[in-house]
Amino acid sequence: MPFFSGARRKLWVFLLALVLFLVLFVVVLGSGEDKCEKPAGSRSRGSAASAPVNSEGLAYPIDPSAPITSGYGPRDGGFHYGIDLGGPHGTPIYAYADGVVKYAQDSGVDGFGGWVVIDHNKDGQQFATVYGHIEPGHVHVAPGQQVRAGDHIADEGNAGQSFGAHLHFEVHPGTWTSSTGGIDPTAWLEKAKGGDVSNQPQGGSDREHVSIDAGDGIAVAEIDDENWVETPSAVEGFTGDVPAIGPGDELPHPREFGVPAGEGGLRIDTKRGMRIAAAKFHHYINKAKGYGIGGVRPDKIYPDHPGGFAIDIMIDHYETDGGQEHGTEIKDWFFAHRHELNIKYMIWQQTYIPSEGEANKMPDRGNPNENHFNHVHITFHESPFATGDEPVYMVEDDAGDGTGYTVGGNGCASHGGHHHDHELEPGSVPEEFVRWFQLGAQVCPEIDAPLLAAQMQQESGFQKGAVSTAGAMGYAQFIEPTWRSYGYPVDDDGNPTGPAGAGDPNSPGDAVMAQAHFMCDLADQMREPYESGRLTGFNSLQEAVLASYNRGPNGVLEAGGMPNIQETQDYVRIISGNLEKYQQAVK
């Protein structure tokens, strides 16, 4: 006879199931503390997630060793209302002072992507701090939450209008509003460090002809190196002692030489060039705050800086003869090593200096910065993005190579990716363009002759002398500033015979080779954002490159994919739809 029978058995089964459910429920809830993230801002003060707080109750908003990559003031025709502090993705961001979170958003904030705004009331002074370009999913606080100085509030990212991981930091009197800009936060950051970094003690140098003076360093700057006086370094803790670097040695970060610089978003060859410049020429570089060596920054016309291909070496006391001599020495050394360093071109003293062909005097742009009298600009060919971990080394041959240079094979080796191998359909384009589309297809793997043909059909219909309402000119419809970078005159093999900008946009050869090289540089810039999933709305990298040609690379990057602009969408759709017309049929 069974122990339970009928209704009693059903009752006991139900009660037993209920008990088991309650036990499991309690166990799951009890284990949730270890598996779920704690509420934002709930970490205890003084934990590993907090930053040091000084005697005035202030905390530096990021690792104090982070370089200033862009200062407060005029920039690119506008005004930069904050200070950019560089560092790798995920670097912790800390609250500057005690306060209440006003805004906290992971994405969608115009210009910033993600941000945090904190209101403070310290010693009767009301002000707000802003933390921009936060990594998506890494805002750790919520609006209305009270925070303490040094609390871990977010993590550094590359969101919004940003071309390299950094923290954009602002200070606003009272509170933040959309109608007012921030004040210069330089002194506020120095106060969080506990003093003015310009007054840090400076030490000696390994170059006997250099002295380091804590004064302004300007009035005493002389033409001869024996009396050269450097501008003091703004790098925190720099003593003037620098490592000795010889041929083949691994290169340290520029900060080891007292040179402010940010490496976020750089390509490997660009990073190497930046470190070589600091190691070899740190005595000639302006090491003041906001100067040093510039890397990634926004540019609405040229892709060099946003794409991580370029550096600007700021010359100390450029207004003196000695400063100009030093800039020329830097230019000459890098030109002599242009092959091994993968340099594409340089600009110094209003002169565009390509690695191949002759130098080109540029139009007067009205000031020392735009005319490149205060810095040497170097653009490198495409290389993979630097991760921050890979070592780079000093060149072995310090003698360099001062000989002339012509690009062999139309620059094919300077680009990566998988090659498109479609041939051009016979009779599909005017005869004078056939050989040029075939040569242009050799420049990089991402383009082929049918793509160049379909694009030129859309741009000008192969009509000589075409000029758009926006001033774009020639067969490939280049605007004048871009033509100055890509418009080389070329020989029958597609190799440059003169400086950039000297070519004829209505010459089939000059126009197609400029079109091909510009498309390949855009492919270099779009490849990583497309392959990482940061760009949406495209069916292929090729579509992203076409959109960039029409709208500009920044327009695509800022939109996070296909811009919401009918002209650009039609441009990509029409060219992609016409490809088959120009592709040779498979027999």
Q: What is the CATH number of domain 417-582?
A: 1.10.530.10
Residue 71 has what pLDDT?
A: 84
Q: How far apart are CA 184 and CA 415, in angstroms?
A: 41
Residue 49 has what pLDDT?
A: 54
Q: Which residue has the higher pLDDT, 16 or 108?
A: 108
Residues 299-326: what's their mean pLDDT?
86
Q: What is the pLDDT of residues 131-153, one digit of tens each?
A: 998 988 889 998 889 899 999 99
Residue 585 has what pLDDT?
A: 59
CATH class of 68-195: mainly beta
**% of residues, the chain, pLDDT over 70:** 80
Q: How far apart are CA 360 and CA 373, in angstroms?
A: 15
* DSSP character string of 359-419: -EEPPP-SSTTTTTSSEEEEEEPP-PBP-S-S--B--S-TT---S----GGGGGGG--S--
Output the six-digit token pair for 53: 């707080």
Name the nearest CA neighbour of 116 among 88, 137, 85, 140: 140
Residue 399 has what pLDDT?
A: 45
Report CA 200 to chain centroid distance, whole Å.
Answer: 30
- Are 59 and 95 a contacting pair, CB within 8 Å? yes
Among left, alpha and beta (phi > 0; psi -120 to 50; other), residue 390 is beta
Q: How far apart are CA 529 and CA 324, in angstroms?
A: 39
Q: What is the pLDDT of residues 30-53, one digit of tens each?
A: 433 332 332 322 222 223 357 888
Report CA 56 to chain centroid distance, whole Å.
Answer: 35
Residue 132 has what pLDDT?
A: 92
Residue 278 has what pLDDT?
A: 94
Q: How far apart are CA 179 and CA 364, in angstroms?
A: 35
Strands 343-348 and 375-380: antiparallel
Give the H or E element holding residue 85.
strand 83-86
Q: Is 330 exposed, middle or buried (0-12, 13-18, 19+ CB in 10 A)?
A: buried
Say whether pLDDT at 516 is over 80. yes
Residue 194 has what pLDDT?
A: 67
In one-letter notation, the amino acid at residue 180 is T
Report CA 400 to chain centroid distance, whole Å.
Answer: 29
Q: How far apart are CA 262 and CA 209, in angstroms?
A: 28
Residues 497-524: what's their mean pLDDT?
88
Q: How far apart are CA 463 and CA 459, in angstroms?
A: 9
Q: What is the pLDDT of residues 498-508, one digit of tens each?
A: 777 889 999 99
- Are 488 and 503 a contacting pair, CB within 8 Å? yes
Q: Is 274 exposed, middle or buried (0-12, 13-18, 19+ CB in 10 A)?
A: buried
- Which of helix, strand or coil describes residue 542? helix
Name the band, by pLDDT with cuts 50, 70 and 90, for residue 366: confident
Q: Which residues contact 362 (CB under 8 A, 6 or more apart)?
A: 347, 350, 351, 352, 371, 484
Residues 212-240: what's their mean pLDDT?
57
Say whether pLDDT at 403 is over 80. no
Residue 228 has what pLDDT?
A: 61
Name the band, by pLDDT with cuts 50, 70 and 90, for residue 218: very low
Query: How far lies 555's CA from each of 367, 545, 559, in Å?
Result: 28, 12, 6
Query: How far lies 550's CA from each of 291, 401, 506, 538, in Å?
Result: 33, 38, 19, 14
Residue 476 has what pLDDT?
A: 95
Query: How far lies 7's CA from each of 11, 17, 21, 157, 421, in Å?
Result: 6, 15, 21, 64, 78
For residue 101, which phi and psi values (nearest 5 degrees)? -70, 125
Q: What is the pLDDT of residues 241-252, one digit of tens each?
A: 888 888 888 999
> In sequence order, what E strands does 191-257 have?
211-212, 229-230
Q: Which residue has the higher pLDDT, 65 or 490?
A: 490
What does the mean pLDDT of the chain come to? 78
Residues 554-579: what's their mean pLDDT?
92
- Are 170 and 82 a contacting pair, CB within 8 Å? yes
Least confident span in 24-28, 82-86, 112-116: 24-28
Name the band, by pLDDT with cuts 50, 70 and 90, for residue 463: very high
- Are 455 and 274 a contacting pair, CB within 8 Å? no
